[in-house]
Structure 1
Amino acid sequence: MPPNQFKSKYQSQKSNLVPLIQPQSVSLIGASSTRLNPGLVLLNKYKSAGCDTYAVNMKQVPSHTTFTSIADLPKSDLLIISVPHDQVMSTLQQAISLDKMRAVQVISAGFEETGDHSLQQLSSTLNFPLQGSNCVGNVSSGNDLTFLKGYKQPLHRMNLHSENLGQELFSNISVVSQSGAFLSSVGQNVPLNFGFSVGNQSQIKVSDYIEFCCRKEQKVIVSYVEVVNKAEYQKIEKIIQDNKDVKFVFYQGVRSQKALKQAEAHSGSAEDNVQLTELKYDNCKVLKTINEVESFCQIHQAKVLENKVLALTQSGYIATIFSNYLQFDTLTENQTKQLNLIFRNIPAKIGPNLDATPILTVPNLMKTLDVLLQGDQKVVFSILPELYDEEEINIIKDKLHTLKLNEKQKMTVIVENSHALTEEIKQLGFNTIYRADSLGIK
């Protein structure tokens, strides 16, 4: 992107969070030249994502253009501050006075959660976005831009600098989280367009991130919040009312007085806390476990409740659950003919919700799957691992591995009782859901 176009795209304003999620250039104050500290983990990830990266250090920081002072830094789209708490304010003030960034991310801690509101007071005067303090970074169309060393990126992700970044062709699910651990958990199990670690919300609030995601036409916005005061609650409620085509999912960490005290130690003041269960809207859900959150996102990503499907299982229990929640397509005449041949000696009713019964051998089960995939219909395939030995499981995995990309894209695989197998199949490029009864979370 030419520099003049780039500049117009990144106008300095608090509400424009694009420099936080899609920077072309990133500077770090607080890089170590000898150890992999959180700031350097972040800068390395931005380098791998194709960004121009700069560091401030008296010694050369490996792999990054290094300057000995803030004054020498070029202006960047994103400035990351990762210095001890007592150096944050002076560092930020110097960078502001020298006009060194279009957005800033403070990963240093020790502000609102300790009663220090100096960063909050300064950031309220700024005309550009400040993320944090005490945040872990972001996720951008599958790209891990956090300082979490063990974060597993999804198999498919978009180029960070693609003009299509944030569009539905990748995903239409985003996460706004006061917890880096929550963002990491959901982001590793569900493809995310945007994932924001909001930290202590010194400037940008949860509602601001949610509003940004709505402007970017996200269809599901998941938010983890610990405490919500009345003013923030009212802003969130207004966003929900104004965006009826968006599904809002909330997970509120604080549900007791004991948890409220813990939240104060982590996020700052818990004064005037409002429970989000007060939100009573058709496009809003408040869920109680992270498993429910992940299942909701997986179901939406797979679109199994929005499309008519053909379903294949070897369990009457699963077939009954499918009947409760799925809409079924119609078998073609040719599909019906081929299925009748496969099932000619087996007592199973041929139809779009096919209970193949455990009597059917695994090789014939795979032939049945081939028949369902011949058409244009979406296919839901249920695996009940208890029915199979290790050799049979390997036959199923090998078959799924050999399917073409277009076949994988029209399939959703639902696995019962095995997180490990669910993860293996997800890594093969399939939409996966853990347990069929998760469909009831719709």
Structure 2
Amino acid sequence: MKAFLEQMDTFFDPKAVAVIGASRRTMKAGHVIFKNFVINSQRNLFKAKLYPVNPTEDTIQGFKCYSSVLDIPGEVDLAVIVVPAKFVPGVMHELAEKKVRAAAIITSGFSEIGNHELEKEVADIAKEAGIRVLGPNCLGVYDSSTGVDMLFLPETKTLSTGDEVVATPRPRPGPIAIVTQSGAFGAAALDYLAGKQMGVSKFVSFGNKADVTASEMLKYLLHDEKTHVMLMYAESIDKGREFMDVAREVTCIKPVICLKVGRSAAGARAAASHTGSIAGSDE
């Protein structure tokens, strides 16, 4: 259990992060995500080492850029992947060689559009190397206390007038953890909680769930001292008996509110097109 908790903790409190696909182009997800880390570093909230990876750039936001994660000096324990889907297997092989412990694959273009073999290839590489993976096709992680922020939704935006306004507010630290398969639901929940001045401990977006499951995340959050209650949004439940066993264990100590979609045939079709999930009808 200790080894499991330590590896899962890498997603939320890493020692060194590589953003693979970091970009200077402001409209790119890789730009927004890397900027999130930079801003939180300037706020003295994010305290880990930070490395942008992009073979076409020399520097990004004042940070030396590396062509490959293999060129980074020292260890990297968390990778945030924001490159086109076809390049992800190659990146995963490099992460395996670098002995990276965890990866969040923000990139879409996998099982949600029928590319099941590509997703399986990525999952197989990760499994063989012992890398835990969130995603693909996800928003990743937001941790209010460590400054890890993989959301490619900018916190502020600049209007045509030049005024900067809040776009996607981040909630303050608090006792609520959000575990969601839908990034859109997760973003809406964060926005609502921020508006109500309700605090969040951790936010996790699974996407296609190629590796890390809801059961594992609930088990991890059970041992997280900052989390007192969990809000979960699921489009599919894998290994239902295992999930119920974990849920019973967790809810003896911490409440879990679970919203399950795909209860109708139409809902199941929507889930399949969104994250490639097979959600059964309740009829």
Whether TM exceeds 0.5 here: the answer is: yes
SS at match of 2:184: helix
TM-score, normalised relative to structure 2: 0.79
Aligned with 1:215 (options 196, 211, 223): 223
- How many Å apart are 1:12 and its aligned residue? 6.9
TM-score, normalised relative to structure 1: 0.52
- Cα deviation 1:138-183 (Å, max 9, x = unaligned): 22136554111232023x44xxxxxxxxxxxxx2221100011221
Aligned residues: 247
Partner of 1:337: none
Aligned mates of 2:38, 2:273 — CA distance in 1: 34
Asked if 1:105 corresponds to 2:104, the answer is yes
Aligned mates of 1:140, 1:56 — CA distance in 2: 22
Asked if 1:119 corresponds to 2:122, the answer is yes
- How many Å apart are 1:274 and its aligned residue? 7.6
Aligned mates of 1:68, 1:172 — CA distance in 2: 39
- Cα deviation 1:275-297 (Å, max 9, x = unaligned): 6xxxxxxxxxxxxxxxxxxxxxx
- How many Å apart are 1:16 and its aligned residue? 2.7
Asked if 1:63 corresponds to 2:62, the answer is yes
- Give the gaps of 5 or more residues in structure 1: 1-10, 158-170, 276-442
Aligned mates of 2:27, 2:14 — CA distance in 1: 22
For residues 268 and 257 of structure 1, do their structure 2 counterparts lie closer, same or farther at Cα, with a shift above 3 Å needed?
same
Structure 1 residues 154-165: aligned runs within 5 Å: 154=171, 156-157=172-173
Asked if 1:148 corresponds to 2:153, the answer is yes
For residues 14 and 126 of structure 1, do their structure 2 counterparts lie closer, same or farther at Cα, with a shift above 3 Å needed?
farther
Aligned mates of 1:55, 1:141 — CA distance in 2: 22
- Cα deviation 1:242-285 (Å, max 9, x = unaligned): 231211101112121112112112222406x386xxxxxxxxxx
Partner of 1:430: none
Partner of 1:224: 233
Contact 2:229 2:254 in 1 (8 A): yes
Asked if 1:182 corresponds to 2:185, the answer is yes
- How many Å apart are 1:227 and its aligned residue? 1.6
Query: RMSD of aligned C-alpha atoms?
Result: 2.3
Contact 2:215 2:247 in 1 (8 A): no
Partner of 1:239: 246
Aligned mates of 2:223, 2:199 — CA distance in 1: 19
Contact 2:175 2:200 in 1 (8 A): yes
- How many Å apart are 1:44 and its aligned residue? 1.4
Asked if 1:52 corresponds to 2:49, the answer is yes
Aligned mates of 1:49, 1:102 — CA distance in 2: 22
- How many Å apart are 1:195 and its aligned residue? 0.8
Partner of 1:40: 31
Letter in 2 for 1:184: A
Aligned mates of 2:23, 2:153 — CA distance in 1: 17
For residues 112 and 103 of structure 1, do their structure 2 counterparts lie closer, same or farther at Cα, with a shift above 3 Å needed?
same
- How many Å apart are 1:80 and its aligned residue? 1.1
Structure 1 residues 418-433: aligned runs within 5 Å: none
For residues 236 and 15 of structure 1, do their structure 2 counterparts lie closer, same or farther at Cα, with a shift above 3 Å needed?
farther
Letter in 1 for 2:52: A
SS at match of 2:186: helix
Range with bigger deviation, 185-194 or 141-150: 141-150
* Higher Cα Rg, which structure: 1
Structure with the bigger RCO (C-alpha within 8 Å, sep 6+) is 2
% identical aligned pairs: 23
Aligned mates of 1:206, 1:253 — CA distance in 2: 15
- How many Å apart are 1:122 and its aligned residue? 2.6
Structure 1 residues 242-261: aligned runs within 5 Å: 242-243=249-250, 244-261=252-269
For residues 102 and 173 of structure 1, do their structure 2 counterparts lie closer, same or farther at Cα, with a shift above 3 Å needed?
same
- Give the gaps of 5 or more residues in structure 2: 42-47, 155-166
Structure 1 residues 86-97: aligned runs within 5 Å: 86-97=86-97
SS at match of 1:27: strand
- Cα deviation 1:110-140 (Å, max 9, x = unaligned): 2222233222333333423211111112221
Aligned mates of 1:137, 1:269 — CA distance in 2: 18
Asked if 1:134 corresponds to 2:137, the answer is yes
SS at match of 1:187: helix
Letter in 1 for 2:60: V
